[in-house]
Structure 1
Amino acid sequence: MEARKALTESEARLRAVIDAAPVGLVFADASGQITGGNNRVEEILGHPVLPSKDVASYNEWIGFHEDGRRVEGHEYPLGRVLSENLSSAELLTHYRRGDGTMTWIWFSAAPVRDLEGKVIGGVVASVNVDREKRLTESLEREVEKVVAEREAAQEALRQSQKLEAMGQLTGGVAHDFNNLLTPIIGSLDLLQRKPIGDARMQRLIDGALQSAERAKTLVQRLLAFARRQPLQPTAVDVGRIVTDMADLVARTSGPRVRVDVDVPPELPPARADSNQLEMALLNLSVNARDAMPDGGTLSISLRQVDEPPADLPELGRRPHVVLSVADNGRGMDEETLARCIEPFFSTKGVGKGTGLGLSMVHGLAAQLGGALRITSREGVGTAIELWLPVSSDEVSTGDEDRPAARDAGRGLVLLVDDEDLVRESTASMLADLGYEVVEAGSAEQALRMVKDGLRPDLLVSDHLMPGLSGTDLAVRLRGRMPGLPVLIVSGYADVDGLAPAFPRLAKPFRQADLAASVGALRGERAVSPSAGSTE
């Protein structure tokens, strides 16, 4: 009696411990038949323990692996320890509860052995880990998001560094090419204006000059990408530029492309360079046309945006005028879109493009303090937006009074350039225009000449030279001779180094360009390119 009482009390204590356990417990015999469980298991599973005869009947439990596969009966931990003679087995399962809801449950099973080590049954513990699982997934998503953002930022930094390095390289090369092209274009221009040789010789000179002009355009695009082109930004009526160029764009696009232009009234002026903006619009329009070989619609539109979107943080919170050029052509895949602003990258094939159009527009936008945004879908089309900051100035009408005109081509010009061929070519142009020219190979030499008594009527100087720059020279000479007209000539302009008070002439140039710049500087009417010639 005492032994039976002690056994009963022991079983009661064991049942109390089992029911008080913080996990669900289920027991089975060696065949897999469920023999019992505690109360907590019903709370976790959402239903009473399902009766079963063997391991195969565990298929009635509906659970799923993390990859979405249905858990087979023999895959449950209790079935594994009984059928595979394992010391333990575990499984995380997305389990369907009795009310149909899904929850994450962790099952952990172990065999029950007799004194001889024979498996006589098994026990499985179950824990509801749904909250922890969802928190973990949320944390993983956040980690993945942070990692993705970091990788995107690193890739953007790499691309920025790549483009900056390419910009520095192309800017330097373009500057050197401008110095090479200046005497070539200047000399060919002079030869074209004089009756030299027969008709065949003149055709050769004309062809050489046209090639040199194409090279000049190519260099200008390189400088635009490098953000080192000599810009003269002013308040520009972008709507008028778009309207004036609409006919040219339509004729350039051909009859199979429909050109839609949307220019709203009363747009504020934008800060831009008119000539470069016209070139940018033409480049974007040609790209759009080429993306529609079978025809389509080219849409050019303008709008004002008071506060740029978050994806253009470099624009700040200033208002902008947005020039949009869109097509419904072939579009670009992600790889092409990522590389489209790289210089010399082109999908048009050999001989059908320089690959500098978009890079030039991108450089122009950055140099003006704006931005370029490109969106494209393969097979749908491309939209390119040029964001230009709104200008607080009024648009110039070009009718401002000029100083009284002086006799053209009269006066002494101090010409300073460290490149001998450039200096010689420019001196020939000025002499052909009727000016007396004194040459100096450096700013320091020019200062010594002035110190020794030279009194020029005009200073024409290169900007970047060893020692003092052209701007430094102009400032010092202005200190000695207030009001001295100054023209700075440069292959590219360092915005920080070039004072805006000094007019500029970009290399390479023709005699007519030099004549117009010098004439405007001295308050003269346009000088005839043949003035002072010996024809």
Structure 2
Amino acid sequence: MDEAVLILTPHGRDAAVAADLLKRHGIPAFICEHLGALSAAIERGAGAALVAEEALAGADLDLLTARLEQQPPWSDFPFVVLANGHKGMRSTRAFETLDRMRNVVLLERPLHAESMVRAARSALNARRRQYEARDVLARSREELERLVMERTREREEALAQLHEAQKLETIGQLTGGVAHDFNNLLTPVMGNLDLLRRRLPGDDVKSQRLVENALQATSRAATLVQRLLAFARRQDLQPKAVDVSGLLAGIEDLVSRSIGPTIAVTVQSPANLPAARVDPSQLELAILNLAINARDAMPRGGSLVMEVGQQSIPPALRDTLRAGDYICVSVADTGVGMDAATLKRAIEPFFSTKGVGKGTGLGLSMVHGLAAQSGGALQLSSQPGVGTRAELWLPVADEQAAASEQTQVEAIMAPRPSTVLLVDDEELVRVGTAEMLMDLGYSVVQAGSGAEALGVLRRGEIEIDMLVSDYLMPGIGGADMVREARKLRPDLPALLITGYTNLVQGPGAELPRLAKPFRQAELASRIAELIDAAQARDNVLTLPDARRSEGR
């Protein structure tokens, strides 16, 4: 019926003749008895209608035009109207009738048979194009719906990622602030315990043991704070060019001892890899954390593969990492694995699957924070019953890796007579640090703010040999205060003490620094080193003057 021409000619054999003519030219035709039948046939489906003008009268025309007005947007049913052959002008009523039918081609009678056939074919062609447009619109609508669903899904995923990032950022800000305050509390505790241990009689074994246990507890607390700061991306990193293959080889024995004999450790580290830019000590701690997590996931033993290589950025991290070259350090185990819900929360601080008392839940948080703060990323993949793979992506360094240095514990040295200007807004920290310095033989001038310290230097009543200042203080901060102090004393050695701020990318990056909490030995070694370096510079500067005096 969609290809048929409906015929309505109410007088004589006109309908039969027209139908026979169309059929002889291969055009299906269907005769309608009245306008109501024509309207119903159009509703069922037809290609066009051939209608005598005299049939367009009566109430049935209202039914037909109402049906035409309800056509879908793509449809405009075509009519070929056989006019009565008016000798004069067509009446206004006749024009209104034709207008109500919308898509009309008017043929004046008498007409040639070929004209009627061509008019019918033109109407059918127009109708076919309407059907084609309908199909195109349907396909476009389906494609549009698919695109809308895809974009909606992508938007929901992006919003979920944004929500997760905002949540982690909020948690990071909270943990960073708490860790900073906790560092300020640990600093005098650790310092006072150090002083107490030195002042206890050597034969008081019980008291020495109690103090040593307390020092070990504060050291563990300091490690916990460092993990919090790593997650918050506010630890004081000291990145350098690191040979990661050499680093892995150096800690292989430590990892093997830490995870036990039931787990086979394999290290795959090709030679001639470029150096990665990262804090080496924090990287060692991160790899050890990953290895210990893997051990806990393999209670009955298994295998652990640590691998390093230079790789292109994977699709999952293209929106996270900047363009460039990266070193990928991976730690893969054959443990119990994690389901999707656990994997999603794995890097949240204090989230742990190890049970109460068996872990802090900060291992992966620390690794995530180290990677992000180093300009890289942490990527986790896991399947229950298969295992977990952690990939630590680190940017390639511009310079060559330096030879590894063996860390040595400096003994407390008896200093030459020197005066230290100590600046800290936290009285508890300042007094505890001052006690450590005075116990070492330094004279100490204390200041509770940067402005107060600058006032001491401007008055010049006391000869200051060294400036030791907290970094983050109300008013003028430590780095700004050192810059102002060096306008008065350009050669004044200075040491910044920091609780969490990443000085590598901020003001004061060029200044020597010491991380809170610190032991008395660390403080003594750092200050003695800076004072010796300053005096060595002074000797070099005065040497030419001495030689000139000898020449005279």
User: Per the shorter chain, which TM-score range?
Assistant: 0.7 to 0.9
Normalised by the size of structure 2, how large is the TM-score?
A: 0.70
Verify the 8 A CA contact 2:450 2:477 in the aligned structure 1. Answer: yes
Quote the residue 1:228 is aligned against: 234
- Identity of matched residues, %: 52
- Alpha-carbon distance, 1:398 to partner: 6.9
Change over 3 Å in CA distance of 1:415–1:340 after alignment to 2: same
Verify the 8 A CA contact 2:371 2:394 in the aligned structure 1. Answer: yes
The one-letter code sitting in structure 1 at the alignment partner of 2:187 is T
Quote the residue 1:425 is aligned against: 432
Deviations 1:102-154 (A, max 9, x none): xxxxxxxxxxxxxxxxxxxxxxxx99987665544433222211111000000
Quote the residue 1:476 is aligned against: 484
Alignment RMSD (CA, Å): 3.4
Quote the residue 2:171 is aligned against: 166
The one-letter code sitting in structure 1 at the alignment partner of 2:517 is P
Long gaps (5+) in structure 1: 26-39, 42-125, 400-405, 525-535
Long gaps (5+) in structure 2: 1-9, 31-44, 47-130, 406-412, 534-552
Quote the residue 2:457 is aligned against: 450
- Alpha-carbon distance, 1:482 to partner: 1.6
Query: How far, CA to CA, are the matches of 2:152 and 2:277 in structure 1?
Result: 39
Choose from 367, 377, 398 the match for 1:371. 377
- Alpha-carbon distance, 1:522 to partner: 3.2
Correspondences of 1:45-444 after superposition (within 5 Å):
134-196=139-201, 198-305=204-311, 309=315, 311-397=317-403, 408-444=415-451
SS in 2 for 1:522: helix
Query: How far, CA to CA, are the matches of 1:451 and 1:137 in structure 2?
Result: 78
SS in 2 for 1:315: coil
SS in 2 for 1:487: strand
Verify the 8 A CA contact 1:308 1:317 in the aligned structure 2. Answer: no
Larger Rg, first or second structure (1 or 2): 2
Query: How far, CA to CA, are the matches of 2:292 and 2:26 in structure 1?
Result: 77
- Alpha-carbon distance, 1:14 to partner: 5.8
Choose from 517, 524, 538 the match for 1:515. 524
Deviations 1:42-92 (A, max 9, x none): xxxxxxxxxxxxxxxxxxxxxxxxxxxxxxxxxxxxxxxxxxxxxxxxxxx
Verify the 8 A CA contact 2:193 2:211 in the aligned structure 1. Answer: yes
Query: How far, CA to CA, are the matches of 1:477 and 1:23 in structure 2?
Result: 102
Deviations 1:155-195 (A, max 9, x none): 11111111111111111111000001110111112222332
Query: How far, CA to CA, are the matches of 2:385 and 2:137 in structure 1?
Result: 45
- Alpha-carbon distance, 1:476 to partner: 1.1
The one-letter code sitting in structure 1 at the alignment partner of 2:530 is L
Question: How many residue pairs were aligned?
Answer: 423
1:499 aligns with 2:508: yes
Query: How far, CA to CA, are the matches of 1:16 and 1:209 in structure 2?
Result: 111
Query: How far, CA to CA, are the matches of 1:442 and 1:20 in structure 2?
Result: 105
Change over 3 Å in CA distance of 1:16–1:320 after alignment to 2: farther
SS in 2 for 1:451: helix
Verify the 8 A CA contact 1:171 1:223 in the aligned structure 2. Answer: yes
- Alpha-carbon distance, 1:16 to partner: 7.8
- Alpha-carbon distance, 1:466 to partner: 1.3
Query: How far, CA to CA, are the matches of 2:27 and 2:229 in structure 1?
Result: 74
The one-letter code sitting in structure 1 at the alignment partner of 2:150 is K
Deviations 1:202-247 (A, max 9, x none): 3222222222111111111111111111111111121111111011
Change over 3 Å in CA distance of 1:130–1:469 after alignment to 2: same
Query: How far, CA to CA, are the matches of 1:173 and 1:144 in structure 2?
Result: 43
Change over 3 Å in CA distance of 1:301–1:494 after alignment to 2: closer
Normalised by the size of structure 1, how large is the TM-score?
A: 0.72
